[in-house]
Amino acid sequence: MRLGLVSRIDDRRAIEFTAQLRQMLEGEGFTIVYDQSSAAIQIRERGPHPIEVDADMMVVVGGDGTVLRTVQMMKKQIPLIGINWGEVGFLTDLEPEDTLPFFQSIKDGFSVEKRMRITITSESGSLAHALNEAVIVTSRPAKMLRFSIFVDQVSAGTFRADGMLISTPTGSTAYAMSAGGPIIDPKIEGFLLVPLAPYMLSSRPWLVSCERPLEIRLESTKPAKLVVDGQRTWDLTEGTSLTVERSPEPALFVDAGKKFFKKIDYKLRRL
């Protein structure tokens, strides 16, 4: 089995652990392959680069940010397993001490769980795919934005808020949860809309089926930014219209046998 290794690069101990992990996995009979632009053992950060490796699985040492960056940069989605080297790590299923027993258990194969991503498109074309969320925020602090929401090409409402968050079910345990949104079972496929600090108390989160066309239109003259998975940013202007769709290529996660709601309970108790 061919494994690709990626490590967070801002933590010396994580890089050292990844080097030790390589030796351990090779000792177990796995073939380790690297992408020259992403494997932390071989590179220094020079900005984002496409990840292109011929591997059966990507092994990511880091927190949620490292996992999101890896998913963003993979030109073709490869099943991924995260080893937590962050704070909470909702997107990671293994702790460092669990690593060896897990890989010994999958030598004969493993199962994969698909996680829905969303595709954000503007008038100029497709912008990005998000595993967690896309968020529209003002470029100037303490300035509110105005949004119009269209579902099935019909006006569904207007929000005045500091920002608007469009989350996947996977992202419901991230920024969306902090902003007051619900925790959603990742097997439910839909778009979660969460207004950030809305002006009206009646402005509540919405969960919209991913089968419905969804459009978000920025109606404010104030400058704003679109931030996708905390990794990439675009400037937005008044009248910008963003279309949200289910991405044709979901993220792929190795099933480590962790039950979702048991994992949520464990992770939340660590916060």
Active site residue ranges: 64
Cα distance between residue 117 and residue 233, in whole Å:
17
Strands 251-254, 112-115: pairing kind: antiparallel
Cα distance between residue 147 and residue 215, in whole Å:
10
CA dihedral 6, 10, 13, 18 (to 10 degrees): 10
List, in order, residues 6 or more apart from 139 with CB less than 8 Å away: 222, 223, 224, 225, 235
Beta carbons of 79 and 87 less than 8 angstroms apart: no
- List 165's β-bridge partners, or say none: 135, 194
